[in-house]
Amino acid sequence: MSKNAFSQHLFQFRSVVKKKLLLSLIITSTVMILEIIGGLMTNSIALLSDAGHMFTHSFAIGISLLAIFIARKPPCHHKTFGLFRAEVLAAFINGLFLLPIVGIMVYEAILRFINPEEVFGFYMFIIALIGLNVNITSVIILRGSQDKNLNVKSVFYHMIADAASSIGIVIASIIIYYTGLNILDPLVSLGISVLILYWAWSVLRDSTRILLEMTPKGMNIDIISEELKQDFQEIIDLYNVHLWTITPDMLVFSAYIKVDDKNLNNNQGSLVSKINNYLIEKYNVIESTLQLISINDPEFCKV
């Protein structure tokens, strides 16, 4: 796939994603309001915690939509890669934002352990069941897009975690209704907090790798260098090899490639073109910068 074709494909993909996120935002915001009202009516800290989680979902989706809007702006003389990194920054902010939310939820749950309060299990069950159905709907809407975009992945994990927490609340509400074990309410709240913390760490880790321009997870430049030397006999050595990501679906590669004088003079353009196509087809690298140098040239400082 050529760079222009890839860019067009990316643009179309984000248009579809934007519609999915907008639909999820409408659904999530509606249920968030419902759970806030329900939590106050039933005196359930678990429902209020889940409403807080829903708020983080709405916030995350809103930031994701804003990031997609920004990222669609074309490159220019001072934004040579465009603003695609806005999506990664949005994922990082979403992950970071969850940490104080978790702290508040844990604090409120501990207060409920110290000062237990009665919970209305039946109404808690009804509202949690509605929340569960909405979460499942949102997961279905976003399913398939999360593997191609870290920004969408951050929202998708939100939905998965909230669906799991909704299941916990449904189960807890049934037990509370029949047994009166109100202590289950803050226990479920703590369980939701652990799920959110796990999700936040995952997204923060992945987004930080990209923002620090580290080699993409699961890829090794030493292995790639050896493969290039094996598949292209003209290559004598590679150094100053760099591989990084603009977004998870946009990889960039650069390297100094040492060849003998014959290959440097006779088929330089052809060799560069072949290596570029190889990197595109095998590693989905959208852009590569290759500097061919003679075997007799002094080596630059290796980094």
Residue pLDDT, tens place only, 129-154 = 877 887 788 778 777 665 556 667 76
Least confident of 60-69, 107-116, 233-242: 60-69
Q: Does pLDDT of 54 surpass 70? A: yes
pLDDT higher than 70, residue 80: no
* Mean pLDDT lowest among 2-11, 76-85, 154-163: 2-11
Q: Out of 217-221, 236-240, 257-261, 265-269, which region has the weakest mean confidence (pLDDT)?
A: 265-269
Is the pLDDT assigned to residue 196 strictly greater than 80? no
Evaluate if residue 7 carries a pLDDT over 90.
no
3-state secondary structure labels for all residues of the chain: CCHHHHHHHHHHHHHHHHHHHHHHHHHHHHHHHHHHHHHHHHCCHHHHHHHHHHHHHHHHHHHHHHHHHHHCCCCCCCCCCCCCHHHHHHHHHHHHHHHHHHHHHHHHHHHHHHCCCCCCHHHHHHHHHHHHHHHHHHHHHHCCCCCCCHHHHHHHHHHHHHHHHHHHHHHHHHHHHHHCCCCHHHHHHHHHHHHHHHHHHHHHHHHHHHHCCCCCCCCCHHHHHHHHHHHCCCEEEEEEEEEEEEECCEEEEEEEEEECHHHHHHCHHHHHHHHHHHHHHHHCEEEEEEEEEECCCCCCCCC
Q: What is the pLDDT of residue 8?
A: 47
Q: Which of 96-110, 197-211, 224-238, 262-276 shows the lowest mean pLDDT across its residues?
A: 262-276
d(CA 135, CA 8): 31
Q: Quote the pLDDT of residue 297.
A: 65
Confidence of residue 253 (pLDDT cuts 50, 70, 90): very high
For the ranges 98-107, 136-145, 208-217, the lowest mean pLDDT is seen at 136-145
Q: How confident is the model at residue 302 (pLDDT cuts 50, 70, 90)?
A: low
Give the pLDDT of residue 118: 74
Q: What percent of the chain has pLDDT over 70?
A: 79
Q: Cβ(167)–Cβ(101) under 8 Å?
A: no
pLDDT tens per residue across span 19-52? 778 887 888 788 788 778 877 887 777 677 667 7
List residues bridging with 166 in a β-sheet.
none
Say which CATH architecture domain 3-211 belongs to.
Up-down Bundle (1.20)
* CATH number, domain 221-294, options 3.30.300.20, 3.50.50.60, 3.40.50.720, 3.40.190.10: 3.30.300.20
The more confidently predicted of residues 71 and 216 is 216
pLDDT-derived band at 85 (thresholds 50, 70, 90) equals confident
Mean pLDDT value of segment 254-263: 81
Q: Is the pLDDT of residue 171 over 50?
A: yes
Domain ranges of the chain: 3-211, 221-294
Percent of the chain with pLDDT over 90: 4
Do residues 238 and 257 make contact, with C-beta atoms less than 8 angstroms apart?
yes
Q: Which of 10-19, 89-98, 149-158, 223-232 shows the lowest per-residue confidence on average (mean pLDDT)?
A: 10-19
pLDDT, mean over the chain? 77
Q: 91-95, 172-176, 193-197, 261-265 — which is least confidently predicted? A: 261-265
